[in-house]
Amino acid sequence: MGEKTPMVSVIIPTFNRSHTILRSIGSVLSQSYQNFELIIVDDASTDDTEFVVSGIVDDRIKYIRHETNKGGSAARNTGISHSKGKYVAFQDSDDEWFYNKLEMQMAVFESMPQILAVYSGYLLEKDGELKYMPTEQLYAGSGQIFTKLLRGNCVSTQTLIVNNDILKKIGGFDERLPRLQDWELVLRLSKEVEFQFLDQPLVKVYYTPDSITANPYKLIIATEYILNKYAQDFNNHSAIKANQLYMLGLKYFEFGPKNCAIKTFINSLTCEIQPRSVLAILCSLFGYSFFDRLRNILKKNINSNL
């Protein structure tokens, strides 16, 4: 594509991913849409990430290093502050874009000027198996998707391209969150703009056990934070709030104090009476493993949503 096409600022935050970042960078540099800058923000890596990146010769690459580790949200915000493109896209240092990702998404902006944010499906590789995401349960869709997002996040950061002016207007990522930063960002963003969803995989995401997304305790903290930050919005949708509290209760049940789990299940019941929350409270007497076995039996036999 020619120089008249809008420039995209691609931001890759990284921390100790020297063994995977070449794959990530390569999938950006090989895009069929070539008008982009690539901003790599090294969040104080202690491995040889800087050496690996310095070996790539491409004028579009800008390498920025944090002197102290600040977290993924801060690294992305650093990238945003240095971005010059009309649009901003995000990539993770251990994932892979399909070669036509930018081209497919930028075509949406060209044909639908009212759209300021575009996201797509992706393939999740975990334990040697590929799964298409988002699942139907995550309610992916286009247009005004704020209510959909209250149910759960269907927008993975690696698939998102957003207008840079809007992104800077809302202040980028919330750096106080230890996890779920992508969900919180698109909740704020969806109050400002319409989204367009491309129902096809344009990214391959690799699950790694040492990833921050695998930390259940940070998930609990982040969920509590979002429920409080958007309390009024959740209060306006009692069934959605009940479901979020139930899911949070499950995390407490499995990983946190039992009294916190029971309290959260009771809070869920005050929003909407759901048999699954009652069952969870009763099963708390016997422990999470007993409840999980019973839940799986019920799922198989009565097709419940426990």
- The reply to whether 230 falls in a domain is no
pLDDT at 211: 59
User: Which of 198, 213, 228 represents a domain boundary (last residue)?
Assistant: 213
How much is the CA Rg of the chain, to the nearest whole Å?
A: 21
Q: Residue 269's domain spans which residues?
A: 237-302
pTM of the model: 0.91
State the total domains in the chain.
2
CATH of the domain at 154: 3.90.550.10
Would you state the torsion angle of the CA atoms of residues 212, 217, 223, 228, taken in this order, to the nearest 10 degrees?
-130
Q: Which of 213, 228, 247 is the last residue of a domain?
A: 213
Same domain, 176 and 86: yes
- Residue 291: its pLDDT value, please? 84
109 to each of 74, 197, 208, how far by Cα in Å? Answer: 27, 12, 33
| The pLDDT of residue 2 | 43
Q: Is residue 262 part of a domain?
A: yes
- What is the per-residue pLDDT across 128-153, written as a single tens digit (0 to 9) for each? 899 999 987 677 889 999 999 999 99
If one counts every other C-beta atom within 10 angstroms of the C-beta of residue 107, the result is 14
Residue 246: helix, strand or coil by DSSP?
helix
Same-domain check for residues 119 and 243: no
Whether residues 297 and 197 share a domain: the answer is: no
Reported as a single tens digit per residue, the pLDDT across 178-231 is 999 999 999 999 999 999 999 999 999 998 766 555 688 999 999 999 999 999
Nearest to 290 by CA among 266, 242, 258: 258
Asked if residue 220 belongs to a domain, the reply is: no
Q: Are 240 and 248 in contact (CB under 8 A)?
A: no
